[in-house]
Structure 1
Amino acid sequence: MHITTIGAAIVDIVVSTVQPMLGAKQDVDHIGLYAGGGAVNAAFNMVACGAQVAVHACVGDDLEGGLLRDLLQRHGIQAVMSPHHHLPTGKAVVMVDDTGAARAYAQRGASAWVGEQGFAGLAQSDIVYVTGLSLESQAWLQAALAAMTSRSFRLVVTPGARQLSNPAALHGLWDQADLLCVNAREAASLVGDDTLQVDDPPPEVAEALARQLIRRPGQAALLTLGAGGALFFDGEQAHFHPVRRVEVVSTIGAGDAFASAFVHAWGGGASPQAALAAATDSAARIIQVVPANQAGALRA
């Protein structure tokens, strides 16, 4: 299976374990430098599952961009990146507290400009997996898709914060998506439901949200429900899977790990329950480590 991921490639500076600040300086357990970004996290996970993967991203002409390209290539991932971008490679400082909850401070830099040079090679993919994009990148991708007279790949969309904040702009990709992946609160926001007050609604509430997300026949939706598990709606029937209880070290990358593993299994013909189980196991592995993926530290 050949999968193309599209989205951010950034450097994560992960700091753990962070306590409430009482002074000007605090000792922490760990500070590490890792590859991050939705497209990169998904690519590492999918290649570990056995897929051939290409990443469409944008990094700067700097040390960090070179390290990201080298790490991807060492893992057998094709890095399709705009060369010599004048903006620096995107970075995020991720603060992880003693519960595993993470808060990120991001400078998106060049990562906001993926697709400025086009999206070569999409037609050769079995799955095109779209992660969070800037509105400019989203418009370039929609134009590339519109220019195709036909496509044989499945289009998976896992929108980011900028897209979710502007559902009207997202409609172009949302309409074309074969699978839309969001969490429960994001689903409620997209369908204009302001009554949802929890991250882990019961399956019947999640199913109602998923049904409202479907915009055309043949479309499916995947909703993560926090501690409540996950629900896949195939357009006709809902399939629920509970969460796997493990010690939470860090929540960064959990959503990427879940969705990418589900998509790999689903795209390979697995049953909904088998795909949900694979995704649950994948997310459980990631939340037991500090970084957002299992590629290891970013180094030369």
Structure 2
Amino acid sequence: MQFTTIGAAIVDIVVSRVRPMRGAKQDVEHIGLYAGGGAVNAALNVAAHGARVAVHACVGRDLEGGLIRDLLQRHGIQAQIPDHRLPTGKAVVMVDDSGAARAYAQRGASAWVGESGFPGLAHADVVYVTGLSLESQAWLQRSLAPRTARPFKLVVTPGARQLSDPAALHGLWDEADLLCVNAREAARLCGDNGPQTDEPSADVAERLARHLVRRPGQAILVTLGAAGALFFDGAQGHHHPALRVEALSTIGAGDAFASAFVHAWAGGADPQSALAAATESAARVIQVIPANLAGPLRA
């Protein structure tokens, strides 16, 4: 299977076991430098599952951009990553004792994915779109062939900027074969006045998923945190519970879940098998500090 991911390639500076500050300095358990961003996290995950992978992203002409390219090359991933005059994007990720994470992001070059186009999409079996700037989203929409002529499944996992402007997202949302969101994002896109929770019931999740369908044949994946996930195939919902594991960090869990689901689903797995594969993938990632299993960036 040829998998193409599109989105951010950034450096994550992860600080773990952060507690409320007392004074001007606080000792922490760990500070590490890792590759991150939705396109990179998804690419590393599906490559580990055996897919051939290409990444469309954008980094700066700097040390950090070179480290990201080197890591992808070591994992056999083709990098369609031009240099940009802006620096490589970075995020400082603060992880507390419960594993909950907060990120402070400088988008940098990652906001300019696709400025020079998206070559090679016609050779993909799956095009997996992660969070994009609105400029990058517009460039991608112009590059996509009409749905009737498209050789690949289009999967959209929107980011914060796209979710902040649902009207702008409609173009990709309409075109997607599969839309992947969490429960809060689903409620926001629906304009739903129901329960604002990360862990709604499967019935509530299916109701949200039905509202999200924009055309016949479109499928919806809604992750529900500790309550598992709901896949709506266009006709019925399929719920799968989460695995109970100790979470060291929640960063990257959504990328790990959605990309593993898509790899299995696009490969012909039935919904429950695809959900089970995704659940195991997310459980592995939340048991490590970074957003993926590739280890730290290094020269």
Decide whether the 8 Å contact of 2:187 with 2:196 is kept in 1: no
Any gaps of 5 or more consecutive residues in structure 2? none
- Deviation by residue 1:89-108 (Cα, 9 ceiling, x = unmatched): 00000000000000000000
Look up the SS of the partner of 2:76 in the other structure: coil
- In structure 2, how many angstroms separate the alpha carbons of the residues matched to 1:200 and 1:91? 30
- Separation (CA, whole Å) in 2 of partners of 1:128 and 1:94: 27
Cα distance in structure 2, aligned partners of 1:269 and 1:180: 18
In the other structure, the counterpart of 2:227 is 228
Determine if contact 1:90/1:110 at 8 Å carries over to the other structure.
yes
- TM-score normalised according to structure 1 size: 0.98
Matches of residues 134-153 of structure 1 in structure 2 within 5 Å?
Answer: 134-146=133-145, 150-153=149-152
* Distance across 2 between alignment mates of 1:61 and 1:147: 35
Q: Secondary structure of the equivalent of 2:105? A: strand
Deviates more, 1:147-156 or 1:235-244: 147-156
Aligned to 1:79: 79
Greater shift in the superposed pair: 281-290 or 145-154: 145-154
Q: How does 1:91-106 map to 2 (within 5 A)?
A: 91-106=90-105
Measure how far apart 1:191 and its partner are: 1.0
TM alignment of 1:100-179, pairs within 5 A: 100-146=99-145, 150-179=149-178
Secondary structure of the residue aligned to 2:144 is helix
In the alignment, which residue of structure 2 is the partner of 1:68?
68
- CA shift at 1:82, angstroms? 1.4
How far apart are the structure 1 equivalents of 2:167 and 2:133?
14
Partner of 2:44: 44
**CA offsets 1:249-297 (integer angstroms, 9 cap, x no match):** 0000000000000000001000100000000000000000000000010
For residues 144 and 192 of structure 1, the distance between their equivalents in structure 2, rounded to whole angstroms, comes to: 29
Rate the CA distance shift 1:254–1:276 in 2: closer, same or farther, 3 A: same
Which amino acid in 1 is paired with 2:257?
Answer: F
The answer as to whether partners of 1:185 and 1:196 remain within 8 angstroms in 2 is: no
Distance (Å, rounded) in 1 between the aligned partners of 2:176 and 2:196:
27
Q: Deviations over 1:224-261 (max 9, x none)?
A: 01111100000001100001000010000000000000
**CA drift at 1:147:** 7.0
More displaced stretch, 195-204 vs 165-174: 195-204
Q: Is there any run of 5+ residues in structure 1 with no aligned partner, and where?
A: none
TM-score w.r.t. the length of structure 2 is 0.99
Deviation track 1:26-54 (CA, whole Å, cap 9, x = no partner) reads 00000000000000000000000000000
> How many residues align structurally?
299
Q: What SS does structure 2 have at the residue aligned with 1:170? A: helix
C-alpha distance in structure 2 between counterparts of 1:281 and 1:217, whole Å: 30
Please give the secondary structure, in 2, of the residue aligned with 1:295.
coil
Considering only aligned residues, what root-mean-square deviation do their CA atoms show, in Å?
Answer: 1.0
**What is the CA-CA distance between 1:149 and the residue it aligns to?**
7.5
Q: What residue number does 1:186 align with?
A: 185
8 Å Cα contact 2:247-2:286 kept in structure 1: yes
